[in-house]
Amino acid sequence: MNDDHNLAVIRDRLAEARDCLGEMPVTIPVSQIIGRAGRRRAHRRLISAGAACAVAGLAVLAVVGARTDAGSAAHARAVAYVTSRVENALASENLVFVGRSGSMTTGEYVTWAYGPRYRWEATSNGGEAIIPPSSIQRWKGPYWAQGTALVGGKLVHAYVTYFDQRYSLSPLGSRPSSVCAKNAAFGMAAPVVPTTHWSSYIDATLACGAATVTGHVKIDGVETTEITGKPDTVKLSAGYSKVVKEKFATARWALYVNPVTYLPVRMVGSTETFGGSGSSYTSTFVTNVQWLPATKANIAQALVTIPPGFHRFYGQPGNQ
Amino acid sequence: MRVWGVTKDQCEFAEFYAAAWDECLRIVMISVGSRDVSEDLVAEAFTKAWAHWPKVRRLAAPRAWVIRVALNAHVSLWRRRRREVALGGADAAAPAPANPVLDSSLVAALRRLPVRQRQVIALRLLLDLDTATTAGTLGMSASTVTSHLQRAVAALRREIALDDQELTR
């Protein structure tokens, strides 16, 4: 047996061993790999900045003498400086969510969101609009908005109806950390922003089985991962059931996310009511998402403002 | 539609990651044995690949770079573990789960080779790279690659001969 023959046999047998191992699907999302590298870079910056501050702190201490109080204050300032630098670096990755939703039945919606702030606005271009509660009117421009408003420096939930110049305020509720919670799928079936931390929200939703990765789709030339939620059905309350003449509602949703960042590119959701004497009805939303830089102007769009002269309504916002 | 905040580099890296993960993991597993350890090593290597993506993306064989980094990390892990065992006297690494493919005498012999020879085998025979690309990736001359390959083949030849004897019995 010569060397070439040995080489060929070894190559074949190792290749056979490699192929016998079977498929090795990706178990760690690429976002985690990128995130890990980013955290390490931030950590290294923190260490080097900390070392620089420590040197500067030592120099200051040498000048003013060994005054412990001054030293600890300088150290605290140095830590605060370094921490704020790192926080700013991380905050610079923040983006403003802008979702534009079209619906066959209920007009158009625009949603702006940044951190805990959001504004969800319904607009009609002059056609018929369903004005709550269930009356149909002709209207041009925004006819209602809901989301967060700053009142006395505090974020609260606000609901504004432009057609009758009224608004209501209520405390800000907490948002679910995933779609795993009961009825959370209904939040995904409407054109709202369910979370401020998309990556962990999607991870947790996939982990509990409330959704699965169902494929890869190109949207406007951008490769996306399709995540489809498990349909969720609820029995409607007696009052609502009487209004819509149906007994049940089923929510369905799908997200198309960027495989690198887990940020959504498109959201599709629908709610179907059925099981009663009315004809089964499905409302469907398709929300196309843009991510804009967190400029002052863009962040301001994520707040509901109450126009001067509007009257406050005290009661359930839905009854406004 | 334009997706703000997602760079071209990130998309390119994500594509590379999705396409190369399987092959890199298999090759590292053959050299290392344990799937869990191999996954950690390959993930670590991809993390480094992303950290140096502007450089790595220009290489002739980015996969080879990932495999080389993973196998180097395995040596570091082994050294660290050996030091910990020497100091603590316990807590040795758990044995790799039994796997007929990974426990074959040839693969076991491959794992006993020095790391440079294993890297050459992985790149030249399993990744099918030519001598020049292997040399470029490992930062050695082409003649050193050939020499490592000859030594590795000589060491593994005995295992093939034993296997063949068993087959003819």
- Is there a contact between B121 and A20 if contact means CB atoms under 8 Å apart? no
pLDDT given at position A220: 83
B43 part of a folded domain: yes
Q: B33 in the Ramachandran plot: left (φ > 0), alpha (ψ -120 to 50) or beta? A: left
- Is there a contact between B1 and A290 if contact means CB atoms under 8 Å apart? yes
Instruction: Answer yes or no: is pLDDT of A303 > 90.
Output: yes
- Number of A–B residue contacts, CB under 8 Å: 121
ipTM summary value: 0.73
> In chain A, what percentage of residues exceed pLDDT 90?
16
B96 part of a folded domain: yes
Q: Are A90 and A42 in contact (CB under 8 A)?
A: yes
CA B105 to chain A, closest CA, distance in angstroms equals 11
Dig out the tokens for A125 from the structure.
């271009």
Range(s) of the domain holding residue B65: 8-168
- Is there a contact between A17 and B104 if contact means CB atoms under 8 Å apart? yes
pTM of the model: 0.47
Report the C-alpha gap between B25 and B67 in whole angstroms.
8
Dig out the tokens for A103 from the structure.
């619906």
Highest mean pLDDT of the ranges A122-131, A309-318, B3-12, B126-135? B126-135
| Residue B40 DSSP label | H
- Is there a contact between A15 and B126 if contact means CB atoms under 8 Å apart? yes
- Is there a contact between A17 and B107 if contact means CB atoms under 8 Å apart? yes
Cβ neighbours of A301 (radius 10 Å): 18
| Residue B138 DSSP label | H
| Residue B128 DSSP label | -
Report the C-alpha gap between A130 and A143 in whole angstroms.
10
Q: Which residues of B touch A25 (CB under 8 A)?
A: 22
Domain boundaries, chain A: 30-91, 95-134+175-293
- Mean pLDDT estimate for chain A: 75
Name which of A6-15, A134-143, A173-182 the model is least confident about.
Answer: A134-143
B125 part of a folded domain: yes
A36 touches chain B (CB under 8 A): yes
B2 part of a folded domain: no
Of B13, B14, B156, the CB nearest to A10: B156
Dig out the tokens for B23 from the structure.
């092959």
Q: Which residue has the higher pLDDT, B1 or A4?
A: A4
- Is there a contact between B17 and A33 if contact means CB atoms under 8 Å apart? yes
B77-82 long-range contacts, CB within 8 A, separation 24+:
B77/B37, B77/B41
Dig out the tokens for A34 from the structure.
């990128």
Encode pLDDT of B132-165 as tens digits.
Answer: 999 998 999 999 999 999 999 888 887 776 665 5
B47 touches chain A (CB under 8 A): yes
- Assign B97 a pLDDT band (cuts: 50, 70, 90): very low
Encode pLDDT of A84-140 as tens digits.
Answer: 333 333 343 578 999 988 765 556 788 999 988 999 888 776 555 555 544 556 666
Q: In angstroms, how far is the first alpha carbon of chain B from the final one?
A: 67
Q: Are A293 and A117 in contact (CB under 8 A)?
A: no
Q: Is the peptide bond before A133 cis (omega within 30 degrees of 0)?
A: yes
B150 part of a folded domain: yes
Cβ neighbours of B99 (radius 10 Å): 16
pLDDT given at position B90: 38
Q: How many domains does chain B have?
A: 1
At B134, which CATH number?
1.10.10.10
